[in-house]
Structure 1
Amino acid sequence: MKIFRKLRLLFLLLSVFFSAQTDELPIMAFHSFTPQTSNLMNFKKFKEAGFNINHTIFRTNDQVQNALNLAQKVGIKMIIYSDELLVDTENTVKKFRNHPALFAYFLADEPSPKDFESLQRLIEKVKKLDSKHPIYINLHPNYAPSTYLGNLSYNVYVDKFLKTVNVEILSFDNYPLADNKILSTWYDNLEIIRNNSQKNSKPFWAFANTTIFNNYRQPTLGGLKLQQFSNLLYGAKGLQYFTYITMDDEYWKKHNFGYAIVHNNGKPTPTYSLVKNLNQQIKNLSWIFTKSKVDSVFHIGDTIPVGTKRLNFLPNKFKVFKTFGRNALVSFQSIGTQKFIIIQNKDVFKTMPFNYQAQLGVYVIDNKTGKRKTITTNANISSIPPGDILIFAYK
């Protein structure tokens, strides 16, 4: 029992640390800039879209230095990488460890289990020089080929990583909307990540896809909301987007990547305004999601995703709680004695009617402003937009 209390305390301290770094929920974009687009105007535009952490793979320390200086000017942080970080670790860490815009060091993306021990040795090398800043490593999704996971089950892959590699953040990518349909294994991925996050007292970060490639279509507001609010309802303490800039080197062209949040010259695509609006909505609600603990998560529908649990009971404080047969996600969260019941419409195109009747003392948190709204104890029918949420609260 004492060990559990210590782990819980560590998790809370880590959550406070990451929120204190930005005073808000971390919102990061993967592949934010190129050396050519790293200028003050583009960094300001990045911040205006609601991002507070920039992740860019630069090749040289000079490029990193320029980006960190720009980040400091506009008031955002950076997860840094340069080739020199790997080949000249000591001098690179010493060069940047005291920069005000530094958030973390990026060491690997989607590592194989055979790389875990060498990554841990690199982390130890970095930590001897800078124990203050976190290490960022992003894991495979559960649909990665088994050979990428070392022929391990996904749960064992994540568990082995956390036992071997001492990171402060558990990050993974999963792009769940292929042809605008939810991948059948996405929520199982979230279940596994959430369970390992809680077991190891490591806050987790999750992604939404914002670029076109293969069978991933142009993002819609409903699709973006579905991804990021599902992440938050499972307990994510940081949100990420793949990608911010439209990558245009030979690799990305060969694999037909295109049309991200901004064009390859930094000018916004139509997705920019969608992301900006969503990030503002999330920021208005971040007072809940940065501090809350996810107590349980359930699904509603004729069939529910593999690896998840069906909501087969009437939530406390409710006399009616119906989705008219539509698919929904329900998250039970708490901040001390404050309880939250959050329901999400899992359709990316259609509004979901929701019939409820709550007891006295239940109120709604406006999902756009984050402010409290009173409701009656009469039966009500609300309309939840595609991918969006309805938040109830009580003590």
Structure 2
Amino acid sequence: MAGGSPAQAVFGPPGEVTISFWCPPPQQFIPDAASAQQRMQQIKDAGFNLVTTNACDLGEWPVEVTRRALVAADAVGLKALVHDERFRRAAETGDTSGVPGVARDFAGYPAVAGYEVIDEPSYGFIPVAAEMVRTLRTLDPAHASYINLLPSWDPNLPVPYTRYVGDYLNAVDPVLLSYDNYLWPTMYTNLITIRDEARRRGIPFWNVVLATAHGRFPDQPTAPQMLWEGMQTLAYGGTGILWFVYWDMIDPDFREAMIDARGNETPLYAETAAINAKLRTIGRPLVGARHVRTFQTGPDPLPAGGVRRQPQTPVFGDDNAPMTIGVFEDDSYVYSLVTSRDTASARTANTRLKYNATLPQRLTGPGSWTTVSPTSTGGGLAAVSASLAPGDAVLYRVAKPLARVDDEVVIGRVRNNHGTLHSVDSAGGVTYMGPAPWGTCPPGYGEAGRYERPNGFWVCTRSDLAGRGVYVGNVVNNGSELVRVQNGNALPLGPKAWSGCTNTSRFVAQLLESNGFWVCLDAADRRGPEAVVGLVRANDGQLYATDYANGTYHVGSGGWGACPGGYGYVGKYEAVNGFWLCARSDLVPRTFLVGNVVANAATLFSVTWGAVSAIHYPAAWNDCRGGRLLGNLVVSNGFWLCQQ
């Protein structure tokens, strides 16, 4: 959110989320000053902090009624967006000659927050809207103009929605971006487009949401659904929520409004007042904070436009519950707004928050924060739990600086040729990020290598860990093998028990299931096994990785001279019971000694750049002639390997 932005300062109370509505009282219900003030107080009592004067299809207020309403709004401490029939006339005819008169008639009233110029302008009307705004800005620079845009699904838009929004922004240069969308399946895609465009411009955005069924939206929203609309808007960084509608439209196509056609409060009035109170309480700390990102939890499929948690996000959700989590920060705190997408049932929101010296706090009332009692702590994470009513939310804050969010590695797990992405954090564990094709890595990560097969994987390492060796325990139908990945190469090291790491690596995290994986991260200075020996017995070749620090591993079979990626051919002793040698690319020029053991009798060979010569027979096990023993396979038909 953009705290202190011009739109917040002009349109809404400082430090508050703006809560407003469409369709105020018709003029016959505010015939005098006393009745006008009574109706304005009724609006304020419902938790609204901004009045609109567009009477919808009930007819625009005459100038004297608008003036009366502005005086009444000021008396109860409300601001108002002024609409006028001269704006409508310009919208219908393109004649903007009456626009200057609106500014002259209302600019001097203290309650004026700005001018409500037009609702849902067509693409072709944008130039006229821009002219109206320029005129108002010239005559009354103290009061900004407000325009509400069409939703993304509007069938009459002649251009893509992003162009409609972008061309509007370029032409009008507004202080905020506002839109409406009551077609809930498109809620998130529309929110994302508006949020992204507003962020690029450095302006806040508002969302007009549904309170009353009408037309193509025949289902009357429940209170949890209305709460969901508001909380989702806040989670994406919205700073204003406007309800459609407040007053009954006297139209058979419209259902319950907050005030009926006779001017009486309906049950929806009290429900909306309770929702507004929650939105204002939760929104207040966020108005001055910067929106960082928003993500979803819960089982697949996510709603259209939904995204999973990305690496380096200081909060972890629970995929057992459908939540939308918005992350914000200011100079002192990181905020996590955890909102339920379930509008039918209560849900438990299990969340883990990164923290440092001070435990997280939960917002328990207006301006009231209470330190949480975590269900567990460890690795700089506090596990917290909250029971959420349908559509409801909870707000946490954590004092800066936080413990580091590691997310050292991202694993692309492939099973039956279908890839899914998972972030791996030493404290937070494994977090599902959604489906992905081979080689997909999130921003800030680069591909370290891949084990390309129907049940394989690829590895993305954090940019500062590029070049580090990563061990992946690849588990397929409960059978596991350890594979070393580094610098684009994958070296299988044979079977390994769950969570097994090498001597030089540390365990990071695991996805403990029959087709899961675990990850170990090698030490910073490790480049992997020094050599791979192709051991030939009875003309059958088997590959063994030889690692001074971690021992000898069987890594598969191969034909004469076959070397895995990252290793170069050094030489061979071509015999029925011979061998060939592959050295790590940086060690290919070195001289090696190979003890070739056949039926418990050993011959020592020197191998250098294709030159292989027998230098001693019989040789004793592990005879290195002063060199370093890299490893051995101590069996009757084994070997040992030394580096000179």
Structure 1 partner of 2:108: 98
Q: How does 1:38-77 map to 2 (within 5 A)?
A: 38=30, 39-57=36-54, 58-77=60-79
Structure (1/2) with the larger helix percentage: 1
**1:61 CA drift (Å):** 1.3
Corresponding position: 1:333 with 2:310: no
Corresponding position: 1:307 with 2:305: yes
Question: Quick one: which of 211, 218, 221 aligns to 1:219?
Answer: 221
In the alignment, residue 78 of structure 1 is paired with which amino acid?
Answer: A
Question: Quick one: which of 22, 27, 33 aligns to 1:30?
Answer: 22
Mapped partners of 1:199, 1:17: distance in 2: 20
Root-mean-square deviation over aligned CA pairs: 2.3
Corresponding position: 1:392 with 2:384: no
SS of the aligned residue for 1:95 comes to: helix
User: Where in structure 2 are there 5+ consecutive unaligned residues?
Assistant: 31-35, 55-59, 91-96, 377-383, 401-644
In the alignment, residue 43 of structure 1 is paired with which amino acid?
Answer: M
Mapped partners of 1:188, 1:286: distance in 2: 22
SS of the aligned residue for 1:303 comes to: coil
In the alignment, residue 195 of structure 1 is paired with which amino acid?
Answer: D
SS of the aligned residue for 1:156 comes to: helix
Question: Quick one: which of 125, 148, 160 aligns to 1:138?
Answer: 148
SS of the aligned residue for 1:261 comes to: coil
SS of the aligned residue for 2:260 comes to: coil
Mapped partners of 2:234, 2:3: distance in 1: 16
Structure 1 partner of 2:454: none
Structure 1 partner of 2:240: 238
**1:277 CA drift (Å):** 1.0
Q: How does 1:66-215 map to 2 (within 5 A)?
A: 66-85=68-87, 86=90, 88-145=98-155, 147=156, 149=157, 151-176=158-183, 183-214=184-215, 215=217
Mapped partners of 2:39, 2:274: distance in 1: 18
In the alignment, residue 327 of structure 1 is paired with which amino acid?
Answer: P
SS of the aligned residue for 2:136 comes to: helix
SS of the aligned residue for 2:339 comes to: strand
In the alignment, residue 96 of structure 1 is paired with which amino acid?
Answer: F
Structure 2 partner of 1:278: 275
Mapped partners of 1:381, 1:13: distance in 2: 34
Q: For each residue in 1:301-340, what CA deviation from the matched residue of structure 2 results, as whole angstroms up to 9, or x when unmatched? A: 221122332126585366xx4252x211011111124101
Mapped partners of 2:352, 2:15: distance in 1: 36
**1:92 CA drift (Å):** 2.4
Structure 2 partner of 1:5: none
Structure 1 partner of 2:372: 375
Structure 1 partner of 2:292: 295
**1:166 CA drift (Å):** 2.3
In structure 2, relative to structure 1, the CA distance for the partners of 1:172 and 1:361 (3 Å cut) is same
**1:132 CA drift (Å):** 0.8
Q: For each residue in 1:278-309, what CA deviation from the matched residue of structure 2 results, as whole angstroms up to 9, or x when unmatched? A: 11122223331211211011111221122332
Mapped partners of 1:34, 1:367: distance in 2: 38
Mapped partners of 2:341, 2:303: distance in 1: 11
Q: For each residue in 1:85-121, what CA deviation from the matched residue of structure 2 results, as whole angstroms up to 9, or x when unmatched? A: 5552223211210100111111111111111111111
In the alignment, residue 339 of structure 2 is paired with which amino acid?
Answer: Q
**1:40 CA drift (Å):** 2.4
Calculate the TM-score normalised by the size of structure 2. Answer: 0.54
SS of the aligned residue for 1:188 comes to: helix
Mapped partners of 1:286, 1:357: distance in 2: 22
**1:347 CA drift (Å):** 0.8
In structure 2, relative to structure 1, the CA distance for the partners of 1:275 and 1:100 (3 Å cut) is same
SS of the aligned residue for 1:322 comes to: coil
Q: Does the 8 Å contact 1:285/1:367 carry over to 2?
A: no
**1:127 CA drift (Å):** 1.4
- Which one is further off, 378-387 or 239-248? 378-387
Mapped partners of 2:134, 2:349: distance in 1: 51
Q: Does the 8 Å contact 2:315/2:336 carry over to 1?
A: no
**1:188 CA drift (Å):** 0.4
SS of the aligned residue for 2:264 comes to: coil
**1:69 CA drift (Å):** 1.6
Give the total of aligned pairs: 370
Structure (1/2) with the larger strand percentage: 2
In structure 2, relative to structure 1, the CA distance for the partners of 1:23 and 1:265 (3 Å cut) is farther
Query: Once the two structures are aligned, what percentage of the paired residues are identical?
Result: 23
Mapped partners of 2:162, 2:315: distance in 1: 35
In the alignment, residue 143 of structure 1 is paired with which amino acid?
Answer: W
Structure 1 partner of 2:346: 351
Q: Does the 8 Å contact 1:138/1:173 carry over to 2?
A: yes
Q: Does the 8 Å contact 2:10/2:114 carry over to 1?
A: no
Q: Does the 8 Å contact 1:14/1:203 carry over to 2?
A: no
**1:130 CA drift (Å):** 0.2
Mapped partners of 1:12, 1:71: distance in 2: 23
In structure 2, relative to structure 1, the CA distance for the partners of 1:246 and 1:185 (3 Å cut) is same
Q: Does the 8 Å contact 2:3/2:289 carry over to 1?
A: no
Calculate the TM-score normalised by the size of structure 1. Answer: 0.87
**1:78 CA drift (Å):** 1.1
User: Where in structure 1 are there 5+ consecutive unaligned residues?
Assistant: 1-7, 177-182
In the alignment, residue 199 of structure 1 is paired with which amino acid?
Answer: R
